[in-house]
Amino acid sequence: MPPDLSRLLFGAAEVISEPELAAKVERGGPIRVKLGLDPTAADVTLGWAVVLRKLRQFQDAGHTAVLIVGDFTARVGDPSGKSETRPRLSKEVVQRFAERLLGQFSKVLSDERLEVRYNSEWLEPMDMETVLRLTASYTVARMLERDDFAQRFAEQRPISVMEFLYPLLQAMDSVAVQADVELGGTDQLFNLLVGRDVQREFGQEPQVVLTTPLLEGLDGVQKMSQSLGNYVGITEPPEEMFGKLMSIPDQLIVKYLALCTDVPPEEVRAVEAGLADGSRHPAEEKRRMAREVVALYHDAEAGRAAEGRFNLVFREHEVPPDVPEVAVPPDALRDGVVWLPRLLVATGLAGSNSEARRQIEQGGVRLGGEQVRDPSAEFRPEDLRGRVLQVGQRRFVRLA
């Protein structure tokens, strides 16, 4: 296998098929590598960045990246992995997400050898004849081979005809841009395979399918997701990224190192072997991984500085020198006293009184370095001035 192809395949979950990919590459000239992303969230997470980084690797190898912004398909809703029909998004909401995300994509992808296309360009003008031809290329029986559809059908839960159309519309993206390769997470495998069949129907050579693993979030269990809150965004401040990454379970260190950093494959394998035989320490390798991720989206100095701040808080248990100073907000006062949960909300350290009470009861709140566990605690404003209010290990304010 050519060395550049070996690098492209590192970290892939499945390739259908490697001989087809090798044949396309060996013809010479750039191949067209497609990635479609529906703008249904506000931020690019490290989970999204896994497949974006794979697309960048193809760019660096001299191939053309075709990024499909699914402004039309986002309004339909991708049923992949869903247990119920997903609510539709409006055109205006999708457009706002798209504008925000495109700026973040540039932190991963190169401007060279990049095509950005909106699939409303070819999907909105489709006439009924083309739609019928498209639907005739696939059977209901084959659609029901998908695990999520099959389970919902067996449990007599609704499946809309529109959801059956989604994989076909995604396949039309491949036809429209004449994709040689399509990338996606493992949850996209069925849709990507439909693309191969529909390309054949429209007289094109079928695309190679390359899937990347889904990245578990900070909880170490569920897929990284903004809706679950278990994510790291690629535009987050360095110290926030570093602190979050240090919270992942040890068993995910190698996976994050392989999928979220530029550490060479042979070094990733060495880390994996060292962690397995005990010659490498998990805490040090996790720190290295966190530094590498921060350096990738900021710079190396930011990675070192974030680690220094982390050490200050976690090893020395000191308060960082740049803690923002906040006056006790008037709405935290009632009858001349400050109720602690209300203070946490008023200073932005909690989203609601109930969340604040939960943080206090779980031992996650400190005032002046002392843990506070009484959610009914009240203070006079003059007793709070100059003291540091802390939630968790990364959020501080100094009360003025």
> Could you report the per-residue pLDDT of 265-316, keeping only the tens digit for each?
999 999 999 999 999 999 899 999 999 999 999 999 999 988 888 877 665 5
**Is 122 a domain residue?**
yes
Q: What is the pLDDT of residue 290?
A: 95
**Is 333 a domain residue?**
yes
**Do 125 and 36 belong together in one domain?**
yes
How far, in Å, CA of 395 to CA of 4, rounded? 43
**Do 296 and 337 belong together in one domain?**
no
DSSP one-letter code for 187: G
**Do 168 and 301 belong together in one domain?**
no
Tell me which residue range forms the domain holding 165.
3-212
How far, in Å, CA of 48 to CA of 45, rounded? 5
Pull the structure tokens for residue 150: 């099959």
**Is 225 a domain residue?**
no
**Is 230 a domain residue?**
no
**Is 227 a domain residue?**
no
Q: What is the pLDDT of residue 367?
A: 83
Mean pLDDT of the 68-76 span: 86
pLDDT above 90: percentage of residues in the chain? 46
Mean pLDDT of the 214-224 span: 92
**Do 135 and 168 belong together in one domain?**
yes
Q: What is the pLDDT of residue 318?
A: 60
Mean pLDDT of the 166-174 span: 93
Mean pLDDT of the 86-108 span: 82
**Do 142 and 194 belong together in one domain?**
yes
**Do 125 and 254 belong together in one domain?**
no
**Is 221 a domain residue?**
no
Q: Which residue has the higher pLDDT, 124 or 94?
A: 124
Q: DSSP of 299-332, one letter per residue? A: -HHHHHHHHHHHHHHHTS-PPPTTPPEE---GGG
CATH number where 301 lies: 1.10.240.10
Q: Which residue has the higher pLDDT, 26 or 329?
A: 26
Average pLDDT, the chain: 87
CATH number where 387 lies: 3.10.290.10
Q: Could you report how far apart the first and last alpha carbons of the chain are, in Å?
A: 64
Task: Answer yes or no: pTM beyond 0.85.
Answer: no
CATH number where 30 lies: 3.40.50.620
Q: What is the pLDDT of residue 2?
A: 56
Write the pLDDT tens digit of every residue in 388-398. Answer: 888 876 778 88
Q: Which residue has the higher pLDDT, 102 or 177?
A: 177
**Is 217 a domain residue?**
no
**Do 54 and 182 belong together in one domain?**
yes
Q: What is the pLDDT of residue 38?
A: 87
Q: 């950005």: which residue's tokens?
A: 116
Question: Among the three residues 262, 280, 314, which one is the final residue of a domain in this structure?
Answer: 314
Q: What total of structural domains would you count in the chain?
A: 3
**Is 289 a domain residue?**
yes
Backbone angles phi, psi at 313, to 5 degrees: -80, -40
